[in-house]
Structure 1
Amino acid sequence: MFILVVGLNHKSATVEIREKLSFSENEICDASIQLREEKSIEGCCILSTCNRTEIYAACTDLERGLASVKKFLLDRGELSSEEFSRYFYVHTLYDAIRHLFRVASGLDSMVLGETQILGQVRTAYQRACSEKVSNGIINTWFQQAITVGKRVRTETGIDQLPVSTSYTAVELARQVFGDLSGCNAMVLGAGKMSELTLKHLVAQGVQKILIANRSIEKAEELASRCDGEAIPFSQVYERMSEADIVISCTAATHYVIRRSFVEEVMDRRAQKPMFLIDIAVPRDIDPEVAQVSGVHLYDIDDLQNVIDQNLEARRKAAIEAENIINKEIHQFLRWLNSLFVIPTIIALKSKGNEIKEKELNRALSKLKNLSEKEKKVVSSLASSIVNQLIHDPITQIRQYAAMPEGHLYSEILQNLFCLDVPGQRQKHVGHRKQEYVEKIRCHG
């Protein structure tokens, strides 16, 4: 049994191409069943997100399986073979294992270390199980990938460092106030950035949220989504003293919050600390506001510096994550190659015993005068010769089971000894050997 991945993502294809291959939840179910009906495919799982569409498959024949998946995707997207070569990637065996483990760990994501992809991998696997299109290999592969994704995040903390502007803004507020559940917040503006910031504030359990916008209708629409209170922009000054956190992201071309006003607000707050974050370009808040006692002011450049530091920390965490993945790959590889190795060893022993019995019977039929004791000696000798002949191949193939090319040695042994291993024996090992050797060379 062979495993492969065929897909495209944000790095290999534009959104115009990706959307042709996107699947809704209902479409994935039907598509998975259709794909599973291909003779060479024993199990499959489709992962489809806004940034990637990938098919994971376990095949009895690697070349036929790849051809089936390729045709399926080309038909789905109405694409040419040339476009397939341009936009898609294909990973087999060792590379396929690594790819899924990296995807689940967030190392192949647009935002390094993001957490959403792990849930998407889990959902894709659960869907494959419920539709009964997975098999033992797909099950073990995805189960271990999910475990790897959890382990990477737990041991490296790669997902704990904010790298989006809106999340970083809220995280900085949390660092100032600690628990935000007792805080009130005010958001100026009702655009996309304000909406994202509000989501993070709600997630942190902020007590009350005021939303001010020059279009009160837009403010009311946004407030309805987060259980906030919409206020006219003209009320910003009088209501700001209620806010512990002020996040401003308007489209104004001038300062909307000035030092003199903030000084008055702080007097009304009895100098209780206030956190202001300006994520607008041009800036909404006069930089002089930072001089007011009790005020913590951050602008977009301050946030970007934090984001850059966090990105660098994530890149360092990713190196540690790759080490974890490498160890997990070898563990899975040992199990996967055992699916080749164990049947091969059984077949080799069976063939050795078959030859021994055949030749032993022939010899004994010619040695009529041997006593029972002598026959046992001859039989023991024959068994010893067979066991010694196959001992080294068996020992070596067991050691190779943990190596990327372990399955290849099993195939070679099957061909050299003409072993009958159902569903495994290959006629063109030599043709694929160069491909695998090249992969091995690339992996060191």
Structure 2
Amino acid sequence: MIAKSNIILIGASHQTAPVELRERLSFSQEEIRQALDRFKQDGKLREGVVFSTCNRTEILYVPGGNPDPDRDPVEEMIDFIADAKQIDKSEFKPALYVRRGDDAVRHLFRVASSLDSMMVGEPQILGQVKQAYRAAVESGASGVLLNRMMHKSFSVAKRVRKETGIGDNAVSISYAAIELAGKIFSDLSSKSVMLLGAGEMAELAVEHLISNRVKKILVANRTFDKGMILAQKFRGEAIRFEEREEVLKDVDIIISSTGATDYVLSRDQVKRAMKKRHHQPLFFIDIAVPRDIDPKINDVSNAYVYDIDDLKNIVESNIQQREKETVKAERFVEEAVLNFRKWMDSLAVVPTIKAINDKMTRIVNMECEKTLAGLDHLSPEDVKAIRRMTRAIASRAIHDPIRFLRHTGDHRDDSLYLNVARQLFNLDMKEE
């Protein structure tokens, strides 16, 4: 017997658990493989996928064909997590959420589409979902139901990304900085950039710059070795921190994120550099706290300074825009949930048998009438006999497949055979 409620998702995320607990619940790739192998061996799960990132740990599964009637499959999964992670249930159970049936399907589709992410619209989540599914396939833990469900999550995520602007606008400080640079200089591929500082914010900014194919990246850090490591990582060039003023004549964008307590570039330094660069525009992005760049530089002609507060305003505006796009994305998710429900409903014996009968009836009637149209000499009795014969042949042809489908058993995965039958007879010609 196949029921939507057989699909269960249990997990904890950034919305329900602090980072300390999420770290303890996290599964490594090796632990995921071991968990999937254990699921197969104990027979309590028919299908399963384990998904674990820094922001969530979730297990999506279909209980096995021989569940313990005295045990809730959710409680069994909680026991498994407690045992696998060596954590007392009381420590993590309050942070868990449980989704069943359509709610589980909806949750997966929202996760894959980045609607449930800490940063809505971030693109990495879909790759992480695909990685989790790949592990399940390699372990033989994913079957007909979850195969279909996971692939539908990929398609709805792709549609959300393509048909909404959910990922168009920067919602991180480092990304907003590069987006702003792109608006001031329409083509970053011809521009050179100097990074002041080699910390995490600077590294994130470099990654965004590379995706925009900037012409050249220079890294100036107080510790030259650290600056050289970052420069080599991204095929840039390291310079001494003391060279920063001299280099101003050769770069177009300066991104600063040092830990200095005083300004590392002053108005007078920039004023001298502007003469050497013939007053070509110079763009400063100051993402340091306290600030690295003297705000008075804004008084210099063709010099533009944006600090972290300016960037936060951009980010807040972009978040509001993403929230508008989220409404459309949620509609796409609901459409996908309805389509998956229709497919699940089709995996019942009666609808599938009826669909096979209806298709065969249409085929034999059409072919019979085409043949009879060219046989005008036949008597009415002969025509009736031919029609009876073709229908009898069709009925006999599908008799054994239908009897097989009706013969359900406790130890048989009916969803597998029903899905194969629908594919063999091409009953789902219109893919959702």
**1 or 2 for the larger relative contact order (CA 8 Å, sep ≥6)?**
2
Which residue, out of 53, 61, 65, partners 1:49? 53
In the alignment, the residues of structure 1 paired with residue 58 and residue 243 of structure 2 have an alpha-carbon distance, to the nearest angstrom, of 51
Map of 1:336 onto structure 2: 344
Map of 1:379 onto structure 2: none
Runs (4+) of structure 1 moved beyond 3 Å?
Answer: 60-65, 340-346, 419-424
Map of 1:206 onto structure 2: 214
Which residue, out of 271, 279, 290, partners 2:298? 290
In the alignment, the residues of structure 2 paired with residue 213 and residue 330 of structure 1 have an alpha-carbon distance, to the nearest angstrom, of 55
Higher helix content, 1 or 2: 1
Distance apart, 1:420 and its partner CA: 8.6
Map of 2:106 onto structure 1: 98
| Secondary structure of residue in 1 paired with 2:339 | helix
Which residue, out of 118, 129, 143, partners 2:137? 129
In the alignment, the residues of structure 2 paired with residue 3 and residue 423 of structure 1 have an alpha-carbon distance, to the nearest angstrom, of 18
- CA change 1:24–1:94 in 2 (3 A) is same
Instruction: Kindly report which structure 2 residues correspond to 1:196-235, keeping only aligned pairs within 5 A, or say none.
Output: 196-235=204-243
Letter in 2 for 1:34: R
Q: 2:9 matched to 1:5?
A: yes
Q: Which moved more, 1:45-54 or 1:82-91?
A: 82-91
- CA change 1:85–1:27 in 2 (3 A) is closer
User: Aligned-residue CA RMSD in angstroms?
Assistant: 2.3
Are the aligned partners of 2:12 and 2:96 in contact in 1 as well (CA < 8 Å)? yes
Which residue, out of 315, 320, 325, partners 1:317? 325
Instruction: Kindly report which structure 2 residues correspond to 1:73-222, keeping only aligned pairs within 5 A, or say none.
Output: 73-222=81-230
Instruction: Kindly report which structure 2 residues correspond to 1:362-441, keeping only aligned pairs within 5 A, or say none.
Output: 422-423=409-410
In the alignment, the residues of structure 1 paired with residue 21 and residue 347 of structure 2 have an alpha-carbon distance, to the nearest angstrom, of 37
Map of 1:36 onto structure 2: 40
In the alignment, the residues of structure 1 paired with residue 27 and residue 92 of structure 2 have an alpha-carbon distance, to the nearest angstrom, of 18
Distance apart, 1:182 and its partner CA: 1.7
Q: 2:236 matched to 1:238?
A: no
Letter in 1 for 2:37: I
Are the aligned partners of 1:8 and 1:52 in contact in 2 as well (CA < 8 Å)? yes
Distance apart, 1:331 and its partner CA: 0.7
Which residue, out of 66, 69, 84, partners 2:74? 66
Letter in 1 for 2:209: L
Q: Which moved more, 1:268-277 or 1:19-28?
A: 19-28
Offset from partner CA, 1:282-315 (integer Å, 9 cap, x none): 1111212112222222111110110000000111
Are the aligned partners of 2:264 and 2:292 in contact in 1 as well (CA < 8 Å)? yes
Are the aligned partners of 2:37 and 2:139 in contact in 1 as well (CA < 8 Å)? yes
Are the aligned partners of 1:40 and 1:64 in contact in 2 as well (CA < 8 Å)? no
- Structure 2, unmatched stretches of 5+, are 358-405, 412-432
Letter in 2 for 1:138: L
Are the aligned partners of 2:105 and 2:149 in contact in 1 as well (CA < 8 Å)? yes
Letter in 1 for 2:100: T
Q: Which moved more, 1:192-201 or 1:137-146?
A: 192-201
Are the aligned partners of 2:181 and 2:283 in contact in 1 as well (CA < 8 Å)? yes
Map of 1:306 onto structure 2: 314
Distance apart, 1:73 and its partner CA: 0.9
| Secondary structure of residue in 2 paired with 1:186 | strand
Identity value in percent = 43
Are the aligned partners of 1:185 and 1:243 in contact in 2 as well (CA < 8 Å)? yes
| Secondary structure of residue in 1 paired with 2:214 | coil
Offset from partner CA, 1:370-420 (integer Å, 9 cap, x none): xxxxxxxxxxxxxxxxxxxxxxxxxxxxxxxxxxxxxxxxxxxxxxxxx99
Which residue, out of 269, 281, 285, partners 2:277? 269
- Structure 1, unmatched stretches of 5+, are 350-418, 425-444
Distance apart, 1:423 and its partner CA: 4.7
Map of 1:250 onto structure 2: 258
Letter in 1 for 2:138: S
Offset from partner CA, 1:166-223 (integer Å, 9 cap, x none): 1110111111222322211001112221121122222222221111122222212222
Are the aligned partners of 1:214 and 1:232 in contact in 2 as well (CA < 8 Å)? yes
In the alignment, the residues of structure 2 paired with residue 75 and residue 223 of structure 1 have an alpha-carbon distance, to the nearest angstrom, of 45
Distance apart, 1:231 and its partner CA: 1.5
Task: Count matched residues.
Answer: 354
TM-score by length of 2: 0.77
Map of 1:438 onto structure 2: none
| Secondary structure of residue in 2 paired with 1:58 | strand
Map of 2:397 onto structure 1: none
In the alignment, the residues of structure 1 paired with residue 89 and residue 353 of structure 2 have an alpha-carbon distance, to the nearest angstrom, of 40
Letter in 2 for 1:318: T
Q: Which moved more, 1:173-182 or 1:96-105?
A: 173-182
In the alignment, the residues of structure 1 paired with residue 227 and residue 92 of structure 2 have an alpha-carbon distance, to the nearest angstrom, of 46
Are the aligned partners of 2:82 and 2:89 in contact in 1 as well (CA < 8 Å)? yes
| Secondary structure of residue in 1 paired with 2:249 | helix
Distance apart, 1:322 and its partner CA: 0.9
Q: 2:264 matched to 1:260?
A: no
Letter in 1 for 2:230: L
| Secondary structure of residue in 1 paired with 2:263 | coil
| Secondary structure of residue in 2 paired with 1:54 | strand
Distance apart, 1:37 and its partner CA: 2.7
Letter in 1 for 2:14: H
Q: 2:18 matched to 1:14?
A: yes
Offset from partner CA, 1:113-139 (integer Å, 9 cap, x none): 111001111111122112211000000
Are the aligned partners of 2:176 and 2:315 in contact in 1 as well (CA < 8 Å)? yes
